[in-house]
Structure 1
């Protein structure tokens, strides 16, 4: 992961509502959640929710798909794992702490 990509992702998460939103989608797993359900769960007005979702999509941390008349959002686990790996890349004195092939979050598989 490049520094610019990491900065974009971290900037998107450096806001309380977006961090809560991302964590809710991680907890929901690959199935994701409908935008209306997210709004209801987190108590975010639909207009504000759209803004925050757009920022997370732009950062590559979440993805959307259409199912019938609903837009379903889900965490991009591969991007999350890349960011976590980037952040911990030089831990343990530069020695690998985790097997390189193992994702940090198995949801990415």
Structure 2
């Protein structure tokens, strides 16, 4: 992946609604989801989604296909993997990285009563 492509992909993902859309499409898998189902799942107006879909498509992060009257959007996994590869290309300065099992997600802190 070229640096300009990485910047375009990161810029497209640097907005909370677009990031939510992309993450939902990654969860949906290669079959994707209809635009209406995405709007409903994320409680977003369809006209707002059109703008976000266009930004994600332009960055190569999603594809769209027509199925009857529905527009089906799907994550472009090859681009996602290329971006991850670009970001981690020189990970750990050439030393073997810690195994994934050693990395644990951060725990959410419980709110303290007021």
> Displacement, 1:19?
0.3
Task: Give, in whole Å, the separation in 1 of the partners of 2:82 and 2:19.
Answer: 17
Match of 2:90, SS state, is coil
Larger radius of gyration: 2
Q: TM-score, normalised by structure 1?
A: 0.85
How many residue pairs align between the two structures? 97
2:57 aligned partner: 57
Match of 1:25, SS state, is helix
Task: Give, in whole Å, the separation in 1 of the partners of 2:92 and 2:48.
Answer: 41
2:11 aligned partner: 11
1:94 aligned partner: 94
- Aligned residue runs from structure 1 range 1-109, under 5 A: 1-94=1-94
Task: Give, in whole Å, the separation in 2 of the partners of 1:7 and 1:55.
Answer: 13
- Give a deviation string over 1:15-58, Cα, whole Å, max 9, x none: 00000000000000001000000000000001100000000000
Task: Give, in whole Å, the separation in 2 of the partners of 1:2 and 1:75.
Answer: 19
> Displacement, 1:95?
5.3
